[in-house]
DNA sequence: GTTTTGATGA
DNA sequence: TCATCAAAAA
């Protein structure tokens, strides 16, 4: 089980360990070094779930604690995940989360080379592949783990294992994963593509989710869409392929990412109803719609009950015919592909 | 970007 | 066979 650390983003004090399922009350005091009178001594109540990789945050104090840009509100409770920023009070005193494996004894821990064996399936549809560099080195992640690792005085080549939900953050920094990059964004191939072509466009700037989007992000989102569209346009067979560009309403992975996915849905990684519905119902929000919403409302809202869309019956996205099982749906899709 | 594995039931 | 659910993994 990983350990959970509450990391002060400005590194003004050492990370605070949150014990699994323990209730930690935090606020003004020596532990946080916050002396601000606006901050209660019992500002927040934190409870970490180290297995599932999140912390529930309850605001106890009167002044606002916020998660990203959203105020929690007194008595309210929210879920705090890696990648998000928690502000103790009045948008001040930023904190992030870090889950990592405990390695009490050096050298005894198992190897965790991240550039190990990758599934064989990906090469099936790959026509072009410029750099075949299979380097084993993994460039150091941008987040400063060292600051949160006081015990690590030796064996610096071993990074702590990141929680799976931070996988995107790790992959986007890995040159061997990057398909395109510029000063604003990076494109990687989806690790488990749900179609013959499936990329993710990620901003270098960490934006945890759609909820954190603000009007100042509009230009960035437009850039992401342009780059995504270019990826689609430049891929082999683009003349006959249809693509959609959009966001999952409720993604599992931290860090905002734009899906660029071809509409064949021909992939062994597409295995269940959730996979299907997350790309063929309103759970998939078009990039244009996100941008329009942000320009019109100043933020992006996700309707209540959106998660229920994942349970809808399987329906063909081309002819809207309902299919009873995944294998039948796949067979049906092959019919559309050949015609 | 969760996937994988296993148990259970239709 | 296939879907659904829960738990584990990294």
Spell out the domain ranges in chain A.
2-100, 166-337
> What is the nearest nucleotide to A271, using C1' and CA?
B3
Which residue intervals of chain A are DSSP H helices? 167-173, 218-234, 273-280, 287-297, 326-338
Spatial distance between the Cα atoms of A28 and A35, rounded to a whole number of angstroms: 6
At A131 the pLDDT is 35
- List A22, A257, A275, A332, catalytic entry: A257
The predicted-structure confidence for A33-50, as pLDDT tens digits, reads as follows: 999 999 999 999 998 888
Structure tokens at A209: 């989710």
At A130 the pLDDT is 35
Burial of A191 (0-12, 13-18, 19+ CB in 10 A): middle
Which residue intervals of A235-325 are DSSP H helices? 273-280, 287-297
Structure tokens at A269: 């990684």
The predicted-structure confidence for A194-218, as pLDDT tens digits, reads as follows: 999 999 999 999 898 898 999 999 9
- In this structure, is the CB of residue A181 within 7 Å of any atom belonging to strand B? no
- In this structure, is the CB of residue A161 within 7 Å of any atom belonging to strand C? yes
Among residues A87, A16, A12, which one has the least CA distance to residue A48? A16
In chain A, what are the helix, strand and coil shares in percent, each to the nearest 5?
25, 25, 50
Residues 198-237 of A with CB under 7 A from strand B: 198, 200
Domain covering A166-337, topology: HIT family, subunit A (3.30.428)
Q: Which nucleotides of C are covered by protein (CB under 7 A)?
A: 1-5, 8-10
At A160 the pLDDT is 58
- In this structure, is the CB of residue A195 within 7 Å of any atom belonging to strand B? no
3-state secondary structure of A11: coil
> What is the nearest nucleotide to A110, using C1' and CA?
C10
The whole-number Å distance from A210's CA to C6's C1' is 28
Q: Return the CATH number of A2-100, one of 3.40.50.300, 3.40.50.2300, 1.25.40.10, 2.60.200.20.
A: 2.60.200.20
Q: What is this structure's pTM?
A: 0.71
3-state secondary structure of A67: strand
Query: Does the annotation mark A257 as catalytic?
Result: yes
At A126 the pLDDT is 35
The whole-number Å distance from A208's CA to C3's C1' is 32
At A134 the pLDDT is 31
Among residues A169, A197, A154, which one has the least CA distance to residue A53? A169
Question: For residues A131 and A117, is the Cβ–Cβ distance under 8 A?
Answer: no
3-state secondary structure of A59: strand
Q: Give the position of tokens 């499936």.
A: A198
- In this structure, is the CB of residue A169 within 7 Å of any atom belonging to strand B? no
pLDDT in tens, chain A (339 residues): 778 899 999 999 999 999 888 889 999 999 999 999 999 999 999 988 887 788 999 999 999 999 988 899 999 888 898 888 999 999 999 999 988 865 544 333 333 333 333 333 333 333 333 333 333 323 333 333 333 333 333 334 445 567 888 899 989 999 999 999 999 999 999 999 999 999 999 999 989 889 899 999 999 999 999 999 999 999 999 999 999 999 999 998 989 999 999 999 999 999 999 999 999 999 999 999 999 999 999 999 999 999 999 999 999 999 999 999 999 999 999 999 877
At A149 the pLDDT is 35
The whole-number Å distance from A70's CA to B4's C1' is 34
At A102 the pLDDT is 57
Burial of A155 (0-12, 13-18, 19+ CB in 10 A): exposed
């Amino acid at each position: 089980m990983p350990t959970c650390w509450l990391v002060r983003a400005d590194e003004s004090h050492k990370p605070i360990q949150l014990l699994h399922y323990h209730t930690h009350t935090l606020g003004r005091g020596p532990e946080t070094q916050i002396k601000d009178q606006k901050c209660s001594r019992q500002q927040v109540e934190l409870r970490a779930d180290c297995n599932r990789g999140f912390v529930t945050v309850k605001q106890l104090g009167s002044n606002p604690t916020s998660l990203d840009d959203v105020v929690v509100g007194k008595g309210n409770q929210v879920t705090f995940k890696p990648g998000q920023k928690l502000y103790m009070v009045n948008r001040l005193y930023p904190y992030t989360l870090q889950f990592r494996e405990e390695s009490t004894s050096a050298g005894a821990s198992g190897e965790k080379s991240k550039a190990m064996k990758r599934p064989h399936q990906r090469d099936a549809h790959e026509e072009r592949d410029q750099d075949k560099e299979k380097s084993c080195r993994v460039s150091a992640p941008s987040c400063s783990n060292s600051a949160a690792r006081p015990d690590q005085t030796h064996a610096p080549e071993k990074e702590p294992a990141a929680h799976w939900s931070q996988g995107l953050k790790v992959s986007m920094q890995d040159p061997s994963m990057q398909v395109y990059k510029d000063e604003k964004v990076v494109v990687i191939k989806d690790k488990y593509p749900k179609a013959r072509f499936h990329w993710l466009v990620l901003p270098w700037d960490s934006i945890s989710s759609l909820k954190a989007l603000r009007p100042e992000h509009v230009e960035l989102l437009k850039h992401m869409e342009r780059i995504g569209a270019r990826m689609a346009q430049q891929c082999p067979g683009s003349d006959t392929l249809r693509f959609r560009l959009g966001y999952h309403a409720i993604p599992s992975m931290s860090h905002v990412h734009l899906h660029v996915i071809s509409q064949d849905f021909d992939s062994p990684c597409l295995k269940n109803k959730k996979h299907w519905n997350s790309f063929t119902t309103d759970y998939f929000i078009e990039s244009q719609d996100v941008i329009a919403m942000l320009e019109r409302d100043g933020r992006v809202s996700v309707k209540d009950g959106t998660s229920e869309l994942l349970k809808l019956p399987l329906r063909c996205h081309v002819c809207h015919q309902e299919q009873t099982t995944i294998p039948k749906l796949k067979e049906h899709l092959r019919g559309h592909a050949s015609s």
